[in-house]
Amino acid sequence: MDGREIELKLALAPEEMGRIAARPCLTAGRLAEPVSKRLSSIYYDTPDFALAAQGIAVRVRRTGSGLVQTVKTAGTTVSGLFDRDEWETPLSSPDLDAGQLRLTGLAAFAEENPAASLSPVFATEVERTVLRLGGDGWEVEVALDRGAVLAGDRREDICEVELELVSGTPAHLFQLAARILDEAAARPLCLSKSERGYRLAAGKDSPAVKAKAPVLTPAMTVAETFRAIAHSCLEHLMLNERCLLATEAGEAVHQMRVAMRRLRSAIKVFKGITAGPDLNRVKDDLRWLLAHLGPARDAEVFLSEIVEPVLAAHPGDAGLLALRTHWRRDREAKLAAAIAAVRSRRYAAMILGLGRWVETGDWLGPPGQPPRRRLAEPVAAFATRRVDKAVRRLLKEGGETLSRLSPEHRHAVRIRCKQVRYAGEFFASLAPRKTTKVFLAELSELQDVLGQLNDIAVAGPKLSGRGAEAGSSRAAGLVSGWHQSRRAALLAEADKAWKRWRSLPVPWKGE
C-alpha cells in the first residue's frame, strides 16, 4: 500500500471560493505561496459498477506534470473526515496499468488483466489551488477545488475545500475545519467526488436512505465498536441531509430523525464508555436538532396516517378537505423550519463537532495516553451484557399484557422497544444471523403496532384543539371516531405481538 489518506472535506458556498484563501483561517501558519493547477480525471469501472460495490475507486488524473493512476478504498467517513487506503502510480500513457492494479493486493484485481473489464464511467474537471499550512507538530495541505463532475449529459458542480493531513493527528484537521466554519460559509461533506460521480452515472439524485447496520467482529474493541456505530449514524444523517436540502422530501426528515435517535441510543448503550465533559455538549446538540426535526415529522405522520386515510374513506367531504388543507399548511411551515435549521451555521458546526468528538473526544482519554482499560476490551461480552440489560428493562416495563396499560405507559414501552431494536441492530453481526433476524423482525412489528396506537392517542388532543381552528369540528370528530374504532383491534394485535416476542431467545446470549 502506498499510503493512508486522511482528509476532511467541506462544501463551500460558491461566493466563498474567490475570497477564502485570504481569510485568517488560511493565512495563519502558511508555509508557502498558493499554487494553482488544472486537474482532469477519468474514473473507471465495470459496466455494472462492480468496483463501486466493493468501495473501490480507480482513476487516471492528468495534471500539468503528467498522468497518475490512483486506487482508493472506501475506508471510513465521519462528518467530512475521510480515512482511506490509497495507491498512486505515475503513467506514461492514459491507459490503466494492470500490473499496478494487481500489486494493490485487492481481491477485485486478482485476475491476470484486471484492466480489461474496466472502462470510463465519469470524469471530473477541477481548478485546484493548493496551500500548505503548519504549526508545532502538524502540517496540512489545503486544496480549494472548483469545477464539476460529468457523467454523460449530467453535471454536478464542485465547490469545496479538502484538508489533507501531512503530519500530526486528525484533531488538527478538525481544529482547522472549525476555524474555516467560523469565518466562511461552509459545511462538512459526506460524499467524495467519486461517490457523486457514480450517482450521476447511475441516474440517481439524492434519495432518502435507511440506516446501514455497522459490520462488527468479536475481536473489535469497545472503542472501535462505538466508533463504527457512530460512523454509521453520522453517515445516515448526512446522506439524508443531502436529500433534504436537494428535494425537501419529508422522508429525509424522518431518516435524519432516526439517525439522531440511533446515535442517542448508541450513547446510552455505551453509557460509562463515552463519559466526559464533552458529552453534555453532544447531548445538547442532539436535543437541538431533534427539536427542529420532530415537529416536521410529527406533522407529516399526522397528515398521512391520521387525516388522509379518513379522507380516502369519505372522498369529497368538504370538512375533511378543509382539515387537510389546514394541516398541509402546518406541515409545510414545520418542514420549512426544519430545512432552515439544517441549512444553518449551527448545524454545520454541530456535524463537525460530532465527528471531532467521535474521533478525538475526551471519552478516549488523555491525548497521547493508552486508552482506558474498558475501551480496549473485546466487544463481544460487552454487547451481550448491554443488550441483555435493555431486554430485561423492556420486559419489566411491558409486564404481561400491553392492552391493560395506560396510553402513556404503552408509549414508554414503545420507547424501550426502540432502544432494544437499535441495540440489536448495532450488534446484529455479533449474533447468529437467523435468530437475530427473527428477534428484530418481531420487535419491529411490535413497535409498529405500538406506534399506531400512539398516533391515535396523540391525535385526539390535536384534533380537538385545532378542529375548530380549521373550521370543521365535525370533520375533526369524524377523524377521531374513525381511528378510535381501530383501537380495540390494534390493542389485541399488540398483545399477540408482545407475546410472540417475549417467547423468543435473546440471540446474543447464544441460546
Decide which of 1.40.20.10, 3.40.718.10, 3.40.980.10, 1.10.3720.10 is the CATH code for 377-511: 1.40.20.10
What does residue 503 show for φ and ψ, rounded to 5 degrees? -80, -10
CB 469 within 8 A of CB 326: yes
Measured distance CA(112)–CA(10) in Å, rounded:
39
Amino acid sitting at position 71: V
Decide which of 2.170.150.20, 1.40.20.10, 3.90.550.10, 3.40.50.720 is the CATH code for 216-366: 1.40.20.10
Task: Collapse the DSSP code of 155 into the 3-class scheme (helix H, G, I; strand E, B; otherwise coil) and give the result.
Answer: strand
CB 504 within 8 A of CB 394: no
**What was the pLDDT predicted at 64?**
77
Q: Which of 230, 233, 231, 229 is nearest to 210 (CA)?
A: 233
Q: Is-same-fold flag (216-366; 377-511)?
A: yes
440's CB contacts (< 8 A; 6+ apart) are 421, 424, 425, 428
Give, for all 511 residues of the chain, the pLDDT tens digit. Answer: 456 778 999 999 999 999 999 999 999 999 999 999 999 999 999 999 999 999 999 999 998 779 999 999 887 777 767 778 899 999 999 999 999 999 999 999 988 888 889 999 999 999 999 999 999 999 999 999 999 999 999 999 999 999 999 999 999 999 999 999 999 999 999 888 999 999 999 988 788 999 998 989 999 999 999 999 999 999 999 999 999 999 999 999 999 999 999 999 999 999 989 988 999 999 999 999 999 999 999 999 999 999 999 999 999 999 999 999 999 999 999 999 999 999 999 999 999 999 999 999 999 887 666 667 889 899 999 999 999 999 999 999 999 999 999 999 999 999 999 999 999 999 999 999 999 999 999 999 999 999 999 999 999 888 887 655 555 788 899 999 999 999 999 999 999 999 999 999 999 875 4
The mean pLDDT of the chain is 92
Q: Which three cell numbers stand for residue 74?
A: 472506501
List the chain domain ranges. Answer: 3-41+75-91+119-203, 216-366, 377-511
The per-residue pLDDT for range 108-134, each reduced to its tens digit, is: 998 888 888 999 999 999 999 999 999
**What was the pLDDT predicted at 205?**
78
Q: Which of 324, 209, 220, 227 is nearest to 266 (CA)?
A: 227
Tell me the CA end-to-end span of the chain in Å, nearest whole number.
42
Measured distance CA(225)–CA(86) in Å, rounded:
24
Cell 380495540: give the residue.
488
Q: Beta strand pairing status for 81-91 and 66-73? A: antiparallel
CB 80 within 8 A of CB 189: yes
Q: Which of 174, 223, 140 is nearest to 356 (CA)?
A: 174
